Amino acid sequence: MTAGRFAPSPSGDLHVGNLRTGLLAWLFARSTGRDFLMRIEDLDRVRPGAEERQLADLRAIGIDWDGPLVRQSGRAALYADAVARLRADGLVYECYCSRKEIHEAPSAPHHPPGAYPGTCRDLTEVERGVRRQDRPAALRLRAGLETHTITDVLHGRVVGAVDDIVLVRNDGVPAYNLAVVVDDGEQGIDQVVRGDDLLSSAPRQAYLASLLGHPEPTYVHVPLALNETGKRLAKRDGAVTLGDLAEHGLDAGDVRRLILDSLGLSSADPADFDPARLPREPWVFRPPA
Ligand code: GLU
Q: What would the mean pLDDT of 112-130 be, rounded to a whole number? A: 90
Top mutation candidate among 21, 39, 41, 199 for ligand 1, by most atoms within 8 Å of CB: 41
We report the CATH number of the domain holding residue 139 as: 3.40.50.620
Q: Give the model confidence (pLDDT) of 78-116 as tens digits.
A: 999 999 999 999 999 999 999 888 888 876 666 666 789
* Catalytic residue positions, numbered: 235
**Residue 234: what pLDDT?**
96
Same domain membership, residue 230 and residue 93? yes
Same domain membership, residue 252 and residue 214? no
Task: Name the DSSP letter for residue 223.
Answer: P
**CA–CA separation, 243 vs 57, rounded Å?**
9
Per-residue CA distances from 193 to 17, 223, 245 (Å):
14, 11, 25
Closest atom of ligand 1 relative to the 8 alpha carbon: 4
**Residue 170: what pLDDT?**
96
Residue 164 lies in a domain: yes
Same domain membership, residue 190 and residue 253? no
Q: How far is the CA of 56 from the centre of ligand 1 (A)?
A: 18
Closest atom of ligand 1 relative to the 5 alpha carbon: 8
Task: Name the DSSP letter for residue 1.
Answer: -
Q: Give the model confidence (pLDDT) of 163-181 as tens digits.
A: 999 999 999 999 999 999 9
Q: How far is the CA of 43 from the centre of ligand 1 (A)?
A: 12
Same domain membership, residue 102 and residue 9? no
Q: Give the model confidence (pLDDT) of 257-271 as tens digits.
A: 999 999 999 999 999
Same domain membership, residue 66 and residue 89? no
Q: How far is the CA of 102 from the centre of ligand 1 (A)?
A: 25
Query: Is there an atom of ligand 1 within 6 Å of 180 CB?
Result: yes
Query: Is there an atom of ligand 1 within 6 Å of 263 CB?
Result: no
Same domain membership, residue 194 and residue 169? yes
Atom 7 of ligand 1, residue of closest alpha carbon: 7
Query: Is there an atom of ligand 1 within 6 Å of 189 CB?
Result: no
Asked if residue 235 lies in contact with residue 47, where contact means CB atoms within 8 angstroms, the answer is no
**CA–CA separation, 219 vs 155, rounded Å?**
9
Question: In DSSP terms, which residues pair with 191 in a beta bridge?
Answer: 218
Confidence label for 120 from pLDDT (cuts 50, 70 and 90): very high
Query: Is there an atom of ligand 1 within 6 Å of 191 CB?
Result: no
Same domain membership, residue 115 and residue 200? yes
pTM: 0.95
Q: How far is the CA of 6 from the centre of ligand 1 (A)?
A: 8
**CA–CA separation, 123 vs 95, rounded Å?**
9
**Residue 114: what pLDDT?**
72
Q: How far is the CA of 22 from the centre of ligand 1 (A)?
A: 11
**Residue 99: what pLDDT?**
87
Q: How many domains does the chain have?
A: 2
Same domain membership, residue 99 and residue 55? no
Q: Give me the domain span that covers residue 21.
A: 1-73+238-269
Percent pLDDT > 70 in the chain is 98
Average pLDDT, the chain: 96
Strand ranges (E), the chain: 3-6, 35-40, 70-71, 92-95, 138-141, 147-152, 156-161, 166-168, 191-195, 218-222, 225-226, 283-284
Query: Is there an atom of ligand 1 within 6 Å of 196 CB?
Result: no
Same domain membership, residue 161 and residue 220? yes
One-letter identity of residue 104: E
Asked if residue 169 lies in contact with residue 138, where contact means CB atoms within 8 angstroms, the answer is yes
Residue 284 lies in a domain: no
214 closest CA partner among 82, 50, 26, 35: 82
Query: Is there an atom of ligand 1 within 6 Å of 123 CB?
Result: no
**Residue 112: what pLDDT?**
67
Same domain membership, residue 136 and residue 34? no
Same domain membership, residue 136 and residue 47? no
Length of the chain as a residue count: 289
Residue 19 lies in a domain: yes
Top mutation candidate among 5, 9, 19 for ligand 1, by most atoms within 8 Å of CB: 9
Task: Name the DSSP letter for residue 228.
Answer: T
Same domain membership, residue 54 and residue 98? no
Residue 95 lies in a domain: yes
